[in-house]
Amino acid sequence: MIEVEGLTKRYGDVTAVADVSFTCAPGTVTGFLGPNGAGKSTTMRMICGLTPPTEGSATVKGVPYRRIANPGRHVGVLLDAGAQHAGRTGRETLRLTAQILGVDPARADRMLEVVGLPAKAARRRVGGYSLGMRQRLGIAQALMGDPSVLILDEPANGLDPEGIYWMRTLLRDFAGRGGTVLLSSHLLREVEAVADRFVVIAGGRIAAQGAKEELLSRHGGTRVRGEDPGALGAALTGAGLAFRTAGDGAFLVDADAGAVGRAAARAGVVLLELRQADGGGLEELFLSLTAAAAPSAPAGATGKAEEAVR
């Protein structure tokens, strides 16, 4: 369980994160989404105790991250795959992690196998790894303590299509065993495929959050087609329902099917089609929520803000 309550981070007169609250429950994958500079990484660093909040609090498994004894045994974290020591081999990196966490060193080889790093790669120095290999090693490191919570910031960067599919399967299996996953990613289609819930942040504030089906269906609206399009359009207008033409004689209405059906019935319009519209998926939802949400930075503060919210 991850609980975030009113998290705020200010750097002088720049507010990087403002009053952010959400919960990630066991058995779920939560997609944490937002444009560059929205405050995602700052929020995740506050959750992990790396950046002190100006206001608010965050707990993992009921306590602040910094108060968890041997946190790697409970929470697997990957915030920057490039932070690994370039001079160590992949196997040395994981065996050192095992020593720090107090787990069986043999688990290092098991985790290398889980993340798909072969023996030859495990013997290479991390400085020679590709970004995708570093991501796999970082995930192996996050899993070394057999945690029940994963916090991952852009873990799919550098992965090829097969690696992205592997990542999706791994996270769904982890959640399926009761684990809690907080996942930040720019790969919206992959987040849509793996996540149960979305938290969308823009301009340092929550733009929307909720179950995947709820948010996507709310954004899609209702598709309706009537025997008399003119009469149907007049009925919708009379009911105060906003709509647009779909191009095949149907209308896309910004309302639920019940409201649309009642408007048509009151006007005596015969309907040929009434159903949830096929929205543009997570990508369209993301763009609509974040397009105008980011506030303007104070004069002279743009560079500082960009640096602060990474």
Same domain, 47 and 156: yes
What pLDDT band is residue 133 in, cutting at 50, 70 and 90?
very high
What pLDDT band is residue 308 in, cutting at 50, 70 and 90?
very low
Mean pLDDT value of segment 95-121: 94
Mean pLDDT value of segment 172-181: 96
Same domain, 250 and 160: no
The CA-atom distances, in angstroms, between 85 and each of 93, 125, 175, 239 are: 8, 9, 30, 64
Same domain, 151 and 274: no
Same domain, 151 and 270: no
Name the residue range of residue 27's domain: 2-74+147-215
Mean pLDDT value of segment 252-275: 90
Same domain, 153 and 274: no
Closest by CA to 112, choosing from 69, 141, 86, is: 141
Does residue 267 form part of some domain? yes
Same domain, 11 and 68: yes
pTM of the entire structure? 0.76
Does residue 93 form part of some domain? no
The answer to whether residue 295 scores a pLDDT higher than 60 is no
Does residue 57 form part of some domain? yes
What pLDDT band is residue 5 in, cutting at 50, 70 and 90?
very high
The answer to whether residue 91 scores a pLDDT higher than 90 is yes
Least confident stretch, 3-12, 224-233, 295-304: 295-304
**308 CB-contact burial (10 Å; exposed 0-12 / middle 13-18 / buried 19+):** buried
Boundary (domain end) residue, out of 198, 215, 232 = 215
CA–CA gap between residue 28 and residue 181 (Å, rounded): 6
> pLDDT tens-digit profile of 143-173?
999 999 999 998 888 888 888 999 899 999 9
Same domain, 54 and 11: yes
Same domain, 152 and 261: no
The count of domains in the chain is 2
The CA-atom distances, in angstroms, between 285 and each of 220, 250, 289 are: 9, 22, 6
Query: What is the percent of the chain where pLDDT is above 70?
Result: 89
> pLDDT tens-digit profile of 14-53?
999 999 999 999 999 999 998 888 899 999 999 999 999 9
Give 26-48 as a 3 state SS string: CCEEEEEECCCCCCHHHHHHHHC
Same domain, 159 and 70: yes
Does residue 304 form part of some domain? no
Does residue 82 form part of some domain? no
Mean pLDDT rounded to a whole number for the chain? 87
Mean pLDDT value of segment 248-256: 82
CA angle 70, 76, 77 (to 5 degrees): 105
Same domain, 67 and 151: yes
Does residue 242 form part of some domain? yes
The enclosing domain of 57 has a CATH number of 3.40.50.300
What pLDDT band is residue 300 in, cutting at 50, 70 and 90?
very low
Same domain, 238 and 269: yes
* pLDDT value at residue 190: 82
Q: φ, ψ for residue 33 (rounded to 5)?
A: -120, 150
* pLDDT value at residue 305: 44
* pLDDT value at residue 69: 93
Does residue 81 form part of some domain? no
Instruction: Select the more confidently predicted residue: 244 or 14.
Output: 14
* pLDDT value at residue 293: 57
10 forms bridges with which residues in the sheet?
Answer: 15
Does residue 40 form part of some domain? yes
The enclosing domain of 251 has a CATH number of 3.30.70
Least confident stretch, 40-49, 249-258, 260-269, 293-302: 293-302
The answer to whether residue 294 scores a pLDDT higher than 60 is no
Q: Please name the residues in contact with 147: beta carbons below 8 A apart, sequence gap of 6 or more.
A: 72, 73, 74, 75, 76, 179
Same domain, 60 and 170: yes
> pLDDT tens-digit profile of 209-239?
988 877 776 666 788 999 999 999 999 999 9
* pLDDT value at residue 298: 42
Least confident stretch, 25-29, 56-60, 70-74, 213-217: 213-217
Closest by CA to 195, choosing from 220, 218, 214, 223, is: 214
